[in-house]
Structures are given as C-alpha cells and as structure tokens.
Amino acid sequence: MAPSETARRHTRDDVARTALRLLDDVGLPDLTMRRLAAALDVQPSALYHHFPNKQALLADLADRIVAGRPPVSSSGNWAADVRASASALRDSLLAYRDGAEVVSSTLSMGLGADAALDRLASAIAGGGFDEATTRQAATALLHFVLGHVSHEQQRLQYDSIGVTVEGGPDASASAFSFGVDLLVDGLRARARVGAAR
C-alpha cells in the first residue's frame, strides 16, 4: 500500500493509539514497527509517513502517557501541589504497561514528555524557590517517580506470571508517598537555611 493511501486510511492519531494498545498487550520490548504495521493492516514502510522512526513514535507515546492526567491546579499550598503532581504522574505511568520505561527512555534521548518535568517544576516553583533550585528539584523528583514506577511495573509483571519475589523493597503507594515527602521536606529545610542566612 502506498504511503498516500495509508495517510487517507490511518491518521497519526490512529497509529499512536494502536501503538499504545500494543504496548499494553505485548510490552515495550515487543512493540516493533512490524507488529504495529500488522495491527493496522499496512506495510511497515507506511508507518514512516506518520513517524520518521521508532524513537519519534515512542516520544509521541511518552507525551500521551504523561498527558493521561490533567495538570494539577494550584491549591495555594506548594507542598500539597508537589505531592499531587507526583501522584498524578505516577498514575499516568501506571496506566500503561512499561509506561515508566517509555517516558524514561525518551527523556534520556532528549525526546518528548517535557510536560512531566514542567508540571513538577511548576508545583515546586510555588514554594518560591529560585529557577535553578526548582529545575534541579523537579529533575530529582522526576527521576524518583520514574524509578519507583519502573520498579512497581516490574513487580506487577513478575506477579502476572506467578513469580513471587520475597524480601524486595516495598513498591506500594505508601513507599512512594514517603519518597516524595523526603524531597518536599528537604526543600523546606533548604528554604529555612536560606532564610536564616
């Protein structure tokens, strides 16, 4: 099928939505352009009309995953906003199999999912921190969220195939909240030290 025929038959959105469904079905390692093309009943080369390569497709998927939850509205309490933003990002990542890995890999290549960092930075900035502190804290929090959710998703996959891992670290919501609170408390302490100087 010629690319022009594919363009009429499938939109970029169709391709991305099908890729997200496949991601849930088979996971990131088995999400190939060939498999995606088969799901859309087109030749693999037809996909390049919408996405120049797999990395561009994954960047689009990362953006869609992060956008799964709307940005948290400011409550006037920056610490509560940071917690809510981190929790919303966690929920967005958990909504898709390997969601954390997709977002993490695209970020490491400098592609897609900028909204994740921007939303966390916006919440942290509500505490009156300077721009450098805000971006560094948002980056640290983003790395924590991605790492924690990646671990959660690995545990979920092990559980789904009946593998029980004893004695591993707790990947529950309470452990996640504890980690976010550590960062928030550290920022508060940093602000107190700065104010005392």
Residue-wise pLDDT for 9-47, tens only, equals 789 999 999 999 999 999 999 999 999 999 999 999 999
| Confidence band of 7 (pLDDT split at 50, 70, 90) | very low
Indicate whether 41 and 109 sit together in one domain.
no
Report pLDDT digits (tens) over 45-98: 999 999 999 999 999 999 999 998 888 888 889 999 999 999 999 999 999 999
CB 8 within 8 A of CB 41: no
Indicate whether 82 and 117 sit together in one domain.
yes
Looking at the predicted structure, is the pLDDT value of residue 164 above 60? yes
Looking at the predicted structure, is the pLDDT value of residue 188 above 50? yes
Indicate whether 76 and 30 sit together in one domain.
no
Range of the domain at 181: 72-196
> Residue type at 22?
L
pLDDT score recorded for residue 165? 62
Q: In this structure, is residue 59 part of a structural domain?
A: no
- Span 160-188, average pLDDT: 79
Indicate whether 97 and 130 sit together in one domain.
yes
Indicate whether 45 and 109 sit together in one domain.
no
91-129 in b/e burial notation, b at 16+ Cβ within 10 A?
A: ebbbebbbbbbbbbbbbeeebbbeebbebbbbbbbbbeb
